[in-house]
Amino acid sequence: MPDALFALPASIDLAIVGAGPHALTLVTHLLQKKKSMRGRFLVFDPRGTWMSQWNHQFAAFEISHLRSPAVHQPDPDPHALRTFAEARPDELFPPYDLPGTRLFQDFCQDVIRRWQLQTCVYPAQVTRMMPFSHHRRSRFCLELSNGQTLIARRVVMANGGSIPQVPEWVEQVVTPYPNDRLLHSGRVDLRGLQLQGERVLIIGGGLTSGHLAIGAIARGAQVFLMARRRVYEKLFDADPGWLGPKYLKDFWAEPDWSTRWQMIQQARNGGSMTPAILTQLRRLQRDGKIVFYEQCQVRGARWSGEHWQVCCNNSAVHECLHNQKIDRIWLATGSQLNATKHPLLKDVLDTYPIEVVKGLPVVDEYLRWQRCELFIMGGLAALQVGPTARNLSGARAVSDRIVPALTKSSLALS
Ligand SMILES: Cc1cc2nc3c(=O)[nH]c(=O)nc-3n(C[C@H](O)[C@H](O)[C@H](O)COP(=O)(O)OP(=O)(O)OC[C@H]3O[C@@H](n4cnc5c(N)ncnc54)[C@H](O)[C@@H]3O)c2cc1C
């Protein structure tokens, strides 16, 4: 863990947990609204720098460009990234000016520099968040991974919030196996991998599967890509109609939280690949480098000592994978959002119980937990913000709700 550039204060007005794109968006919007917030907040992240998890993921999966257009970025000026890219037009990719990975990273560094945010990330993980009452006002005691503690008047959770989704059969593998032979995608790093002659089974039909398949094939592997459903193409995670009133009007008019949850599922509709990636994969399929096992799931797997033997549940339709000696399995099965399983929310849920619908907390319109000054960013805020809550566009929508509550005393809890 990097050393802190400054001493930790005993207390702070606002603690922000996580230094990813959501936190960065919140901070620029907050400072734009109220300059005097400078010096009144601290951001916590174990890696000690902004955007490290994002940068790591893009590098580890060798992603060339974003899925979302240039308008979605952390600066309050919606044109800021386009202006920044004027001298680098070949780093905006069709069809809708999708920023290249390097361009986006450089732009974020520019945002951090312009808003003078280089020194506000404290290098520690928040390991526990204990709410308490001080003169009948809500406060939080944050425990950090370096053993220190601090009191925060208000907290924003901007830590991504999701837990890797692992299929049930993984728990039932009885044979011991080398750790690196069965990995969730979050632990796969294509860089430095040599896969010549290996067979890699990738589970999942989303864009991460696509990136990993292309990376594995480029390193000499044969890939089997297994998906519960038919692999299908879609430009964005959710239809752009979800960015404005077109769909959000009905979503906000819906009073039933479970129905809202269903609307979110329908809008995201599981994992999907971009047309560009799927076209690339179909070409590799024709070259025999990848085999698709669609509408298919793993029934069980055992490690023989040298290889995986895998059975699927749909062997009537295609030749079962059982005959293939698989060297590695990668689970591109996404992540789950569940407030009740989130370690940081345990004490908060005990002290301030709240309705949780299919894992998502029912927070107020400012994305504030009931009866305390805890604010939620990212996918956990989806019941209020809609299906794009976890995306870059969601970061702006979320900030638009949280910033007023952080800056107007009339909106503070008594
Ligand atoms: C490979 C990939 C590509 C994506 N591409 C796009 C895209 O092109 N466009 C788009 O709109 N969306 C995209 N997304 C979805 C989404 O925008 C990203 O997941 C984004 O990183 C979410 O931002 P975040 O700040 O919520 O989370 P993160 O980027 O995950 O940042 C959270 C930070 O919190 C830190 N943290 C976690 N727990 C703690 C703790 N207890 N204490 C302190 N710090 C903590 C982590 O170290 C991390 O740095 C992509 C997602 C993935 C996985």
Tell how far the Cα of 356 is from the centroid of ligand 1, in angstroms. 22
pLDDT digits (tens, 9 = 90+) for 103-130: 999 999 999 999 999 999 999 999 999 9
- Inter-residue contact 290 to 227 (CB < 8 Å): no
pLDDT digits (tens, 9 = 90+) for 82-102: 999 999 999 999 999 999 999
Q: Which of 392, 393, 396, 399 to mutate to test the pocket of ligand 1 (most atoms within 8 A of CB)?
A: 392
126 alpha carbon, distance to own chain's centre:
18
Question: Residue of the nearest CA to atom 16 in ligand 1?
Answer: 391
Question: What pLDDT band is residue 269 in, cutting at 50, 70 and 90?
Answer: confident
Round to whole Å and give the CA distance between 9 and 214.
47
Structural domains of the chain ordered from first start: 11-162+337-411 (3.50.50.60), 166-234+269-333 (3.50.50.60)
Cβ–ligand 1 contact at 54 (below 6 Å): yes
Question: Residue of the nearest CA to atom 32 in ligand 1?
Answer: 159
Predicted confidence at residue 313, as pLDDT, reads: 85
If you average pLDDT over residues 146-151, what whole number do you get?
Answer: 97
Cβ–ligand 1 contact at 21 (below 6 Å): yes
Q: Which of 159, 189, 239, 399 to mutate to test the pocket of ligand 1 (most atoms within 8 A of CB)?
A: 159
Percent of the chain with pLDDT over 70: 98
Question: What pLDDT band is residue 134 in, cutting at 50, 70 and 90?
Answer: confident
Beta bridge partners of 330: 183, 202
**What are residue 60's phi and psi, to 5 degrees?**
-65, -30
Question: What pLDDT band is residue 315 in, cutting at 50, 70 and 90?
Answer: low
Tell how far the Cα of 160 is from the centroid of ligand 1, in angstroms. 5
If you average pLDDT over residues 173-183, what whole number do you get?
Answer: 95
In whole numbers, what is the pLDDT of the chain averaged over residues?
Answer: 95
- Inter-residue contact 49 to 105 (CB < 8 Å): no
Predicted confidence at residue 1, as pLDDT, reads: 65
Tell how far the Cα of 369 is from the centroid of ligand 1, in angstroms. 21
Tell how far the Cα of 43 is from the centroid of ligand 1, in angstroms. 15
Percent of the chain with pLDDT over 90: 89
Cβ–ligand 1 contact at 251 (below 6 Å): no
Statement: residue 5 has pLDDT above 80: no
Name the token pair of 308: 């995986």
Q: Which residues of 333-371 are buried (b: 16+ CB within 10 A; e: fewer)?
A: bbbebbbeebebbebbbeeeebebeebbbebeebbbbee
Predicted confidence at residue 322, as pLDDT, reads: 81
Tell how far the Cα of 25 is from the centroid of ligand 1, in angstroms. 12
Question: What pLDDT band is residue 245 in, cutting at 50, 70 and 90?
Answer: very high
Predicted confidence at residue 179, as pLDDT, reads: 94
pLDDT digits (tens, 9 = 90+) for 316-334: 666 668 888 999 999 999 9
Cβ–ligand 1 contact at 72 (below 6 Å): yes
Cβ–ligand 1 contact at 20 (below 6 Å): yes
If you average pLDDT over residues 179-199, what whole number do you get?
Answer: 97
Question: Residue of the nearest CA to atom 17 in ligand 1?
Answer: 391
Predicted confidence at residue 224, as pLDDT, reads: 97
